[in-house]
Amino acid sequence: MIDRLQPLLKPGQCAAVFSPENRRYYTGMNTSNGLLLATAEQAVFFTDFRYITAAKEKIEPEIPVRLFEGSAARTLSGFLAETGCREVLYEEDFLPAGRWEALQKEAPGISFTHGAALIFSPRRIKTPEELAAVRRAQKIADEAFLSVCDYIAAEKNNGLTEKQIAFFLEFEMRKNGSGRMPFSVIAASGKNSACPHAEPSDREIREGDFITMDFGATFDDYCSDMTRTVAVGHASEKQREVYEVVRAAQQAALDRIKAGMTGREVDAISREKIAEAGYGEFFGHALGHSVGLFIHEPPSFSPNCQEPILENTVISVEPGIYLPGEFGVRIEDLVVVKQDGVENLTRSAKSLLLL
């Protein structure tokens, strides 16, 4: 992937890639410690003794692998002297102030420029190989949803808790091939489902509860993300009404998304549907976020996103309504934006399930 970054660099510029996800993207390898330095002509990956052997075996030959030359700051200074670069593009949204200051101290006279957006930019458009990994991760999550529905139906009268549901989901995804969890599994029932990012608790589920489950898997480090809301036993008329408003709001967006629309335009489709139904004040988050090696990537379906969404962006579509003290509903699918619509990667049913 390094060939997607180097053409963006001008003569005399060096991109200093510290963040784990960007390092993984450009080298193909995960390490807890490493620094990728790239110019328009060459790239070198520096790491420590723990990873040096594996890195030399796994990383493609066009990126030589070396041991750190002391600290990361000293390593950068040596590379700049070697290449003659006078400007460093760094990830200002990742490096803490103290580390940035250490870099400047070791490299006096060098210009340090915000480079996070440029370094990240190739990751916005997913390659066929990346899309295949996301599809596999989403398939793992879909399979876990089928299993957890059976589990809830079987155990709902046996003191089943939110924590147990969350653990079951993670176990199923791990069993079916997921790597790390891209985020902590959410399982929120009853009144807790009115909190969009509620932490699973020891609350036992009850007849008539809504349960909102937000979870995702990883495959080859790429993430998936989905949310489903189900009912335990039965659902009230109000629950059914709110659920249908959310489902229809999501479908309205799915039917109209295409490459070139801004994030704000897409967000407005679902937001207006929810507002028309009288629940506008209860939908307070963005409609969706991009997904890749990290679970929340730009761009987003958000009132604040004025940029166009490009073809082969992977992004979630997740409207929700949250009624404090009562219940909440969120439905989330993961899609690939195309010129004439979307490829929906999420296969799980969206009709209201009574378990």
> Any idea what DSSP says for residue 177?
T
Which residues have C-beta within 8 Å of that of residue 286, sequence separation ≥ 6? 267, 300, 301, 302, 303, 304, 305
- H or E, element range at 104: helix 97-106
12 HSE (CA, 13 A, CB side): 6
Cα(245)–Cα(275) distance, integer angstroms:
10
Which residues have C-beta within 8 Å of that of residue 305, sequence separation ≥ 6? 262, 263, 264, 267, 286, 298, 299
What is the pLDDT tens value at each position of the chain, 355 positions in all?
999 999 999 999 999 999 999 999 999 999 999 999 999 999 999 999 999 999 999 999 999 999 999 999 999 999 999 999 999 999 999 988 888 888 888 888 899 999 999 999 999 999 999 999 999 999 999 999 999 999 999 999 999 999 999 999 999 999 999 999 999 999 999 999 999 999 999 999 999 999 999 999 999 999 999 999 999 999 999 999 999 999 999 999 999 999 999 999 999 999 999 999 999 999 999 999 999 999 999 999 999 999 999 999 999 999 999 999 999 999 999 999 999 999 999 999 999 999 9
Ordered domains of the chain (ranges, CATH): 2-124 (3.40.350.10), 128-344 (3.90.230.10)
> Any idea what DSSP says for residue 127?
P
CA dihedral 35, 38, 43, 49 (to 10 degrees): -10
pLDDT at residue 244, rounded to an integer? 98
**Closest-CA residue to 287 (of 270, 304, 310):** 270
Cα(135)–Cα(126) distance, integer angstroms:
12
pLDDT at residue 95, rounded to an integer? 86
DSSP alpha helix (H) spans, 198-354 = 237-256, 263-276
pLDDT at residue 198, rounded to an integer? 95
Cα(193)–Cα(214) distance, integer angstroms:
11
Residue that has been written with the tokens 């608790």 in this structure: 201
186 HSE (CA, 13 A, CB side): 24
**Alpha-carbon distances, residue 75 vs 85, 127, 328 (angstroms):** 14, 32, 51
pLDDT at residue 267, rounded to an integer? 98
Which residues have C-beta within 8 Å of that of residue 283, sequence separation ≥ 6? 270, 271, 274, 275, 319, 320, 321, 322
In contact, 295 and 222? CB cutoff 8 Å: no
Which residues have C-beta within 8 Å of that of residue 125, sequence separation ≥ 6? 310, 311, 312, 313
